[in-house]
């Protein structure tokens, strides 16, 4: 019998404020355009949508950033932004703590009319990110914790804690996104003794 078989676990729901960070990525439009090209190339090389809670016209594989190098400039930028957010808004200088953020999952999704995403979270990821490459005026919002609605705009990054539940209701307008999960990694090789 394992220790977990002996311990009873109960869930207590606590309402907690979790931050959502929004950033305009218009200044790195070439990186967004390259990621968009990467999605189209993966639609050819990996035409079957990945099975998930994303019910879109197309979803690329979970590790798209490892399959197509056109995602790398964007993933690198999102990591840099998330590290700055950690330092300036969450009081955690990851580098001084011998930690770094790495993208562990990255995928593209193309939503057409009536496509949606079921409610879910990205635990155990530290951060999750959605980058809107395209977002028509009538595309559906991303909804956090069933109450906060964020209307997508082209070139917009939404960065949030991976544990935060979110969903996308059926959309009227087209939207094309790159989503990713970021996790902390210890830098043991840089620890001075």
Q: What is the CATH number of the domain that holds 144?
A: 2.60.120.620
* 72 is a domain residue: yes
* 38 is a domain residue: yes
- pLDDT of 30 reads 97
* 9 is a domain residue: no
Phi, psi dihedrals of residue 164, rounded to the nearest 5°: -75, 120
- pLDDT of 7 reads 78
> Which residue, chain included where needed, has tokens 């703590």?
97
User: How many domains, in total, are found in the chain?
Assistant: 1
Residues 6 or more apart whose CB falls under 8 angstroms from that of 41 comprise 68, 70
Containing structural domain, residue 130: 26-190
> Which residue, chain included where needed, has tokens 């830098």?
187
Q: Which residues pair with 168 in a beta bridge?
A: 117
Tell me how far apart the alpha carbons of residues 188 and 137 are, in angstroms, rounded to a whole number.
47
pLDDT digits (tens, 9 = 90+) for 76-113: 999 999 999 999 999 999 999 999 999 999 999 999 99
* 161 is a domain residue: yes
Q: Which residues pair with 59 in a beta bridge?
A: 109
Token readout for 19 is: 């931050």
Helices 72-88 & 29-45 angle (0-180, nearest 10): 130
Low-confidence stretches of the chain (pLDDT < 50) are none
Phi, psi dihedrals of residue 62, rounded to the nearest 5°: -55, -35
* 17 is a domain residue: no
Contact 112, 134 (CB under 8 A): no
Closest to 153 (Cα-Cα) out of 169, 131, 180, 129: 131
- pLDDT of 13 reads 67
- pLDDT of 10 reads 75
Tell me how far apart the alpha carbons of residues 125 and 181 are, in angstroms, rounded to a whole number.
6
* 19 is a domain residue: no
* 48 is a domain residue: yes
Tell me how far apart the alpha carbons of residues 148 and 22 are, in angstroms, rounded to a whole number.
13
Q: Please report which helix (H) or strand (E) contains residue 58, including its range.
A: strand 58-59
* 32 is a domain residue: yes
């Amino acid at each position: 019998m394992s220790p977990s078989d002996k311990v009873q676990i109960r869930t207590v729901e606590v309402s907690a404020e979790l931050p959502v960070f929004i950033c305009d990525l218009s200044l790195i439009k070439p990186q967004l355009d390259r990621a968009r090209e990467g999605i189209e190339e993966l639609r050819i090389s990996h035409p079957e949508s990945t099975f998930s809670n994303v019910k879109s016209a197309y979803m690329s594989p979970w590790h798209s950033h490892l399959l197509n190098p056109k995602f790398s400039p964007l993933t690198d930028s999102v990591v840099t932004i998330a590290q700055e957010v950690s330092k300036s808004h969450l009081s955690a200088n990851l580098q001084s703590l011998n930690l770094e953020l790495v993208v562990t999952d990255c995928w593209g999704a193309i939503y057409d009319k009536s496509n949606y995403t079921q409610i879910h979270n990205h635990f155990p990821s530290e951060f999750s990110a959605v980058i809107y490459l395209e977002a028509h005026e009538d595309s559906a919002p991303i909804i956090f914790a069933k109450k906060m609605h964020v209307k997508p705009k082209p070139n917009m990054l939404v960065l949030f804690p991976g544990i935060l539940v979110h969903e996308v209701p059926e959309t009227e307008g087209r939207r094309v996104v790159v989503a990713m999960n970021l996790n902390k990694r210890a830098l043991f090789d840089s620890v001075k003794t």
